[in-house]
């Protein structure tokens, strides 16, 4: 049916208008979660393809609201957007909403231009690891940890054992390596538009949208509708592209057992809340 409709000529006044494909990237960036929430290449690949396939598209507008997450998924989603932008020869405009931080800012760099709200939170160009230590709690409870590995570093940073300085050093080296990849990514995409000192820009700090404009992390202040109309005229139309999520995932019943699905949903929600809470949201 869709194929048939595509063959029907459009009225002349519609042919002149052109469209802006609007793609939303919302949530923590991670491999497709237990509830199917968040952003990943698996969950968003189809929607990205659809955005760049919108008929008479003048540009693709990507609206981001993400506190970050997996550097690998951030890179995969970013690269898919850029590959299709180059293939289809369509400009990409990114609009930061509440948060485009850490991996969320990595995604934002897919834009030829980046916009934010004055109160948006932008930046956090760094790498973080967090965990817990339960050594004293184990001793108080009289619980003995039994762990057997093949490979001397297989149990690195085990939360039930005292922290090993060698493990911390290895973690720090890994973080430094990933941080350098992140920094180079921002340099490559933002180039001469960066205005701040690199020590400040890449410290892991985050700023308001207004301050981010001063630092060259974004190109302007504005929302998708206003900016796109300024660039492409008041007659331009907006075509929202929606991410398809499995029904069972939306209902929280992705597991073979309902009880397991609910438990996983709670764990997933707690993990996401912790990530958002870093930015006071």
Class level of CATH domain 12-124+205-277: alpha beta
Residue 155, CA distances (Å) to 150, 164, 175 in order: 9, 11, 18
Band of residue 240 on the pLDDT scale cut at 50, 70, 90: very high
Position with higher pLDDT, 132 vs 112: 112
Whether the model pTM is above 0.85:
no
Using CB atoms within 10 A of its CB, is residue 153 exposed (0-12), middle (13-18) or buried (19+)? exposed
Write down the pLDDT at residue 274: 65
Q: Where are the alpha helices (DSSP H) in the chain?
A: 2-6, 12-15, 41-51, 71-88, 103-108, 135-141, 165-190, 198-201, 209-215, 224-232, 247-251, 258-277
> What separation, in Å, do the N-terminal and C-terminal C-alpha atoms of the chain show?
44
Write down the pLDDT at residue 252: 46
Ranges in the chain annotated CATH 3.90.226.10: 12-124+205-277
Positions annotated as catalytic residues are: 102, 154
Q: Which of 249, 243, 247, 245 is nearest to 49 (CA)?
A: 243
CB distance 53 to 85 below 8 Å: no
Beta bridge partners of 172: none
> Rounded distance, CA 176 to CA 185, Å?
14
Position with higher pLDDT, 7 vs 275: 275
Of 100-114, 142-156, 251-265, the poorest mean pLDDT is in 251-265
Band of residue 268 on the pLDDT scale cut at 50, 70, 90: low
Structure tokens at 125: 């160009």
Share of the chain above pLDDT 70, in %: 71
């Amino acid at each position: 049916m869709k194929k048939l409709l595509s063959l029907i000529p459009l009225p002349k006044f519609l042919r002149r208008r052109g469209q802006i494909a609007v793609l939303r990237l919302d949530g923590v960036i991670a491999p497709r979660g237990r509830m199917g929430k968040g952003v990943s290449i698996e969950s968003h690949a189809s929607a990205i393809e659809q955005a760049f396939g919108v008929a008479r598209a003048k540009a693709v507008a990507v609206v981001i609201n993400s506190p970050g997450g997996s550097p690998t998924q951030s890179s995969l989603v970013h690269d898919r957007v850029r590959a299709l932008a180059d293939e289809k020869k369509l400009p990409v405009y990114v609009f930061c909403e509440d948060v485009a931080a850490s991996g969320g800012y990595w995604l934002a760099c897919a834009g030829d231009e980046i916009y934010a709200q004055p109160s948006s939170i932008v930046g956090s160009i760094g790498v973080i690891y967090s965990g817990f230590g339960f050594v004293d709690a184990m001793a108080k409870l009289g619980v003995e940890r039994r762990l057997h590995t093949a490979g001397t570093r297989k149990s690195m940073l085990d939360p039930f054992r005292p922290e090993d300085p060698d493990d911390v050093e290895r973690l720090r080296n890994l973080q430094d390596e990933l941080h350098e990849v992140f920094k180079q990514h921002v340099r490559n995409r933002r180039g001469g538009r960066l205005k701040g000192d690199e020590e400040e820009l890449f410290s892991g700090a985050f700023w308001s949208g207004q301050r981010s404009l001063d630092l060259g992390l974004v190109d302007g202040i504005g929302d998708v509708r206003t900016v796109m109309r300024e660039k492409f005229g008041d007659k331009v139309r907006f075509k929202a592209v929606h991410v398809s999520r499995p029904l069972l995932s939306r209902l929280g019943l992705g597991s073979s057992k309902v009880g397991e699905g609910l438990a996983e949903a709670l764990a997933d929600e707690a993990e996401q809340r912790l990530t958002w809470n870093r930015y006071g949201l």
